[in-house]
Structure 1
Amino acid sequence: MLTRKQHELLRFIQTRLEESGISPSFEEMKEALDLKSKSGVHRLISALEERGFIRRLPNRARALEVLRQPEDSGTAPSRAAAANANEGTGLVPPSRSAPAPVPANDVIEIPLHGRIAAGVPIEALEGQSMLPVPAALLGSGEHYALEVSGDSMIEAGILDGDFALVKRTNHARDGEIIVALIRGEEATLKYLRRENGMVRLDPANAAYEPQIYGSDEVEVQGKLAGLLRRYN
């Protein structure tokens, strides 16, 4: 059996997820349950997690998912229940409604692979760090980040020091901004163009000339999915 506060918190989280797809903040949970501090919320969440009623989504900040409800709650479980419920467990049957949206306030950590040139190609560095990114900036698929070095893409709104959020792919259409690996050693961020069996990498700065390579010299490593910028 859940305590009254545990039951109230579980119902509050479930209601907020169904209404907006966004996990409530600890401050919102504290106010909703009339608790004096956030430490009380932490204790309630830990207890619910230990008993298998909720889980924290990995690599995401402030993201919770309801796995099941007490049998007498009358509230349908979230989309995770369908994947986690088994016969004979006593869980509430899974909802048949459409999956809840991914919480808009999710933060996902993606690999940060060093710096990439937005001017003359430089060596692509492999980093060990991770970059937290709002999930709303990313679509489906696998992503990584690169720090932009140079000014050749400024007319596309890509500035030195920005973080390019890249969807990993080996295919891209003409006109898309890609991460191009040149001769297996250097990487650059440019518009992709193909013409006469050659690959042309176009800058977005009139001060720079296009770079032209043989089709076997350039490998698409991903295409731009978004940008992060820090203001100091």
Structure 2
Amino acid sequence: MLTKKQLDLLEFIHKRVQRDGVPPSFDEMKEALDLRSKSGIHRLITALEERGFIRRLAHRARAIEIVKLPESLGGDANGFVPRVIEGGAPDPEPALSPSLPVEPVHALELPVMGRIAAGVPIEAINQVSHHVAVPGSMLAGNGNHFALEVRGDSMIDAGINDGDVVVIRETQTADNGDIVVALVEDQEATLKRFFRRTGQVELVAANPAYETRVLPADKVKVQGRLVGLIRTY
């Protein structure tokens, strides 16, 4: 489900792409939604991307692609995308009628396995620092899950900021484009987009300030795939 602001922004981007062939600038989005700063637009863009409605392409200006539309805009909003818990004030929601049942939220405790680099790789993670509670609905599919605290800004254009906690499903495989925890030469752990080429692996940052790392396939091991993110303010 999208908030009204998220839906308004998605509709505005969709109409501008249909009309002009390119998405609007952040300044145009800010003016259209009557927001005071571009940081609010950044949060909305991040939320739309994490819910699978848009995709931002790295190393290109105004590179926003409409992936799908909600039913209210003539599309089909079905499909899994990572959920994000934000600690700031949420957009106002309609008040619930006292007669409506309230579904309980089931939370699970996950181990936080130290810190993961979203920047220059750091030493491999291998111990539990503390635990964090996450909604059970955030955990995708079967298998074990763990959490990591992000350090660095190389994934900022994917909506992953320094200090965020990422929720990871343990797996040794990944599809091209997945955001994964990659273990490099059994020594360095990093959070990057994963692409497998012939005999090689590319670890791609979501920040043009960082170069893509190209490594022999046998030097990189996938430790898990991103399924969620927790942010506090």
- Paired residue for 1:143, among 142, 145, 148? 145
Task: State the partner residue of 1:105.
Answer: 105
TM-score, normalization: structure 2? 0.54
State the distance in 2 between where 1:218 and 1:151 align.
21
Using the aligned pairs only, state the percent identity.
Answer: 50
Task: State the partner residue of 2:26.
Answer: none
- What stretches of structure 2 of length at least 5 have no aligned partner? 1-102
Task: State the partner residue of 1:212.
Answer: 214
Task: State the partner residue of 2:20.
Answer: none
Query: Contact (CA 8 Å) 2:107, 2:134: kept in 1 or not?
Result: yes
**For residue 131 of structure 1, what is the amino acid of its counterpart?**
V
**For residue 118 of structure 1, what is the amino acid of its counterpart?**
A
**For residue 139 of structure 2, what is the amino acid of its counterpart?**
L
Task: State the partner residue of 1:117.
Answer: 117
Task: State the partner residue of 2:156.
Answer: 154
- What are the Cα deviations for residues 95-142 of structure 1, in whole angstroms up to 9, with x where unaligned? xxxxxxxx6501100111000000110012322421111112212221
Matching of residues 20-99 of structure 1 within 5 Å:
none
**For residue 169 of structure 2, what is the amino acid of its counterpart?**
K
State the distance in 1 between where 2:157 and 2:104 align.
29
Could you say if the C-alpha distance between residues 206 and 107 of structure 1 is closer, same or farther in structure 2, counting changes exceeding 3 Å?
Answer: same
Query: Contact (CA 8 Å) 2:172, 2:222: kept in 1 or not?
Result: yes
The one of the two structures with greater contact order (alpha-carbon pairs below 8 A, sep at least 6) is 2
- Paired residue for 1:167, among 166, 169, 175? 169
State the distance in 2 between where 1:206 and 1:128 align.
31
- What stretches of structure 1 of length at least 5 have no aligned partner? 1-102
Could you say if the C-alpha distance between residues 142 and 208 of structure 1 is closer, same or farther in structure 2, counting changes exceeding 3 Å?
Answer: same
Task: State the partner residue of 1:127.
Answer: 128
State the distance in 1 between where 2:129 and 2:190 align.
20
Could you say if the C-alpha distance between residues 203 and 135 of structure 1 is closer, same or farther in structure 2, counting changes exceeding 3 Å?
Answer: same
Query: How many residue pairs get matched?
Result: 129
Could you say if the C-alpha distance between residues 123 and 135 of structure 1 is closer, same or farther in structure 2, counting changes exceeding 3 Å?
Answer: same
TM-score, normalization: structure 1? 0.54
State the distance in 2 between where 1:206 and 1:224 align.
21
State the distance in 1 between where 2:122 and 2:196 align.
22
